[in-house]
Amino acid sequence: MTKLTIDTIENILFENKKMILNKTTLDGVEKSFLFLKEFSKNKIIYGVNTGFGPMAQYRIEDEDTIQLQYNLIRSHCTGIGEPLTLDQTKAAIIARLNTLSLGYSGIHPSVLVLMQELVNRDILPVIYQHGSVGASGDLVQLAHLALTLIGEGEVFYKDEIKSTKEVFELENLQPIEVHIREGLSIMNGTSVMTGIGTVNLIKVNQLINLSITLSSMMNEIVQSFDDHYSKPLNEAKQHIGQRYIANKMSEFLNDSKLVKKRADEMYQERNEKIFEEKVQEYYSLRCVPQILGPIYDTWNAAKEVVENEINSASDNPIIDVENQTVHHGGNFHGDYVSLELDKLKLAVTRLSMLSERQLNYLVNPKINNILPPFVNLGTLGFNFGLQAAQFTATSTTAENQTLSTSMYVHSIPNNNDNQDIVSMGTNAATICAKVIDNTFEVLTVQSLAVVQAIEYLQIQDKLSSKGKAFYDSIRKIVPVFKEDEVIYPYLKEVKKYLLKF
């Protein structure tokens, strides 16, 4: 089977690509189903003829095994809080569909067919943020998916929340039928945290590209030297991310008329005792490859782990058709994802801190020496420029710093201590998503400051072609303002633009 990638999921989420299950996949799933159906006769199989969790010690009579699955689904629909976004929900279904398609779950193939229809028709279960401890998988959130699959609960449909029953009737869809362990197979896995993690990764990639853009333009504004992002300097260190960022900055600025070559300015004979221009820029401008580099490397590592998890069997027990047996264990545990998303959250917070410091450089004339306070294009003292907008960026960055406390190390035993150490992976994923959204807001404020600074300095025609393109894009949203205006509508529109960057 072809490995499902983040890029493929991005195309389904944002390019309206459809999911198509092939016959080979469905045949493999049916083979697993038929094996489990036969193998489970006269054997004790967890979740087939036993209770769940600490109640696995109780045997379930044959005539009650189907109802057991419905009981599991309905009893675990205890989610609360805000619903997941539509992108997060769809990504979670895709992730669950992919892991079930591997043929390790003993699930009836009709489940996959209906899940495919939900994705392709944008019929998305209402799944709530709060409920999962990230071990035994995302039981609560995936129970809400299972509830939809049995034709109950609520779904998002054409921008409204409607009953699943009503929508299935409109779309001529039939709920799944429980055969053996469809409830447990749907619920027992890490697919919500990986689904949210996938969306997080897509957005962090955007943030990294945005930060490269804004950092490069910052260097244009101050007419910095070009050697700090040079290939020889950055290849003197072995880190892939640092080299990547430096190369991207070099590509961005290769046709800029503003950045300077040190040999032209500093390696000629000079007799001054004090140099008017800075010999080296502040760290937030000069050390961008060293700061964004580890953020890129962290993103890359998280991408590998999340893709591996999406393409893994995160179920319990595992149906082993090849060896004609069933293995009980803990593949539903979300530690891999939880740790990576905690690290990703830290990295994104750091990115927001870099943006906030670059913003501060622009609004503080005592350190930039070329711009008016708060890049105020009006009358100093009478007008305020971006003075208050900095408050927004600073407070939002501070919130990120607080949210960056690890979930991975905050295991709380529960489930009668059956789940005595848990991953909290879905909390890690949703909090990471909040930090990402906050960071788009910080970069939104910085974007306004950058274009206002360019306006004040009148350097539009000297910018790199990529810098000029970004400047023009923001200017289509935000006109030049000298008089004080209500800025929040501009911030909302710029953020919307950056989210599609």
Identify the CA nearest to 359 among candidates 254, 474, 441. Answer: 441
Instruction: Give the amino acid at 324.
Output: Q
For residue 275, the model assigns a pLDDT of 73
The pLDDT of residue 414 is above 80:
no
Q: Model confidence at 416, in pLDDT bands (50, 70, 90)?
A: low
Query: Which H or E run includes 320?
Result: strand 318-320
Q: Using CA atoms, how far apart are residues 184 and 140, in angstroms rounded to an integer?
A: 11
The pLDDT of residue 51 is above 90:
no
Which residues on adjacent β-strands are paired with residue 260? 225
For residue 417, the model assigns a pLDDT of 62
Three-state secondary structure of 94-122 = HHHHHHHCCCCCCCCHHHHHHHHHHHHCC
Q: Using CA atoms, how far apart are residues 319 and 306, in angstroms rounded to an integer?
A: 23
Q: How many CB atoms lie within 10 A of CB 48?
A: 21
The pLDDT of residue 303 is above 90:
yes
**Stretch 459-486: mean pLDDT:** 95
The pLDDT of residue 163 is above 90:
yes
Question: Lowest-pLDDT range, 47-51, 180-184, 302-306?
Answer: 47-51
Decide: 112 and 29 in contact? Cβ < 8 Å: yes
**Stretch 246-264: mean pLDDT:** 91
Return the DSSP state at 85.
P
Phi, psi of 108 (to 5 degrees): -70, 135
The rounded mean pLDDT for the chain is 93
Q: Which residues contact 251 (CB under 8 A, 6 or more apart)?
A: none
Q: Using CA atoms, how far apart are residues 400 and 396, in angstroms rounded to an integer?
A: 6
Which residues on adjacent β-strands are paired with residue 261? none
DSSP string, 128-197: EEE---SSS-SHHHHHHHHHHHTT-SEEEETTEEEEHHHHHHHHT-------SSHHHHHHSSSHHHHHHH
Burial classification of residue 461, based on how many CB atoms lie within 10 Å of its CB (0-12 exposed, 13-18 middle, 19 or more buried): exposed
Torsional sign, CA 249, 250, 251, 253: positive
Instruction: Give the amino acid at 139.
Output: L
Question: Lowest-pLDDT range, 205-219, 337-351, 397-411, 425-439?
Answer: 397-411
Q: Using CA atoms, how far apart are residues 350 and 355, in angstroms rounded to an integer?
A: 9
Q: Model confidence at 249, in pLDDT bands (50, 70, 90)?
A: very high
Q: Using CA atoms, how far apart are residues 119 and 97, in angstroms rounded to an integer?
A: 10
Between 131 and 471, the higher pLDDT residue: 471
Give the catalytic positions in this structure. Answer: 46
The pLDDT of residue 272 is above 80:
no
Sorted by where each starts, the structural domains of the chain and their CATH numbers stand as 6-188 (1.10.275.10), 199-262+278-499 (1.20.200.10)
Q: Using CA atoms, how far apart are residues 1 and 103, in angstroms rounded to an integer?
A: 11
Q: Using CA atoms, how far apart are residues 141 and 133, in angstroms rounded to an integer?
A: 10
The pLDDT of residue 1 is above 60:
no
For residue 58, the model assigns a pLDDT of 87
Angle between helices 139-149 and 191-221 (to 10 degrees): 110
Task: Calculate the alpha carbon distances from 200 to 36, 206, 306, 439 in Å.
Answer: 36, 10, 11, 12
Q: Using CA atoms, how far apart are residues 33 and 367, in angstroms rounded to an integer?
A: 68
The pLDDT of residue 66 is above 80:
yes
CA count, 13 A, side-chain hemisphere, 490: 22
Task: Calculate the alpha carbon distances from 198 to 93, 404, 472 in Å.
Answer: 12, 19, 31
The pLDDT of residue 265 is above 90:
no
For residue 83, the model assigns a pLDDT of 97
Return the DSSP state at 418.
T
Q: Using CA atoms, how far apart are residues 228 and 250, in angstroms rounded to an integer?
A: 10
**What distance, in Å, lies between the first and last C-alpha atoms of the chain?**
32
Query: Which H or E run includes 297?
Result: helix 288-310
For residue 411, the model assigns a pLDDT of 78
Q: Using CA atoms, how far apart are residues 213 and 198, in angstroms rounded to an integer?
A: 23
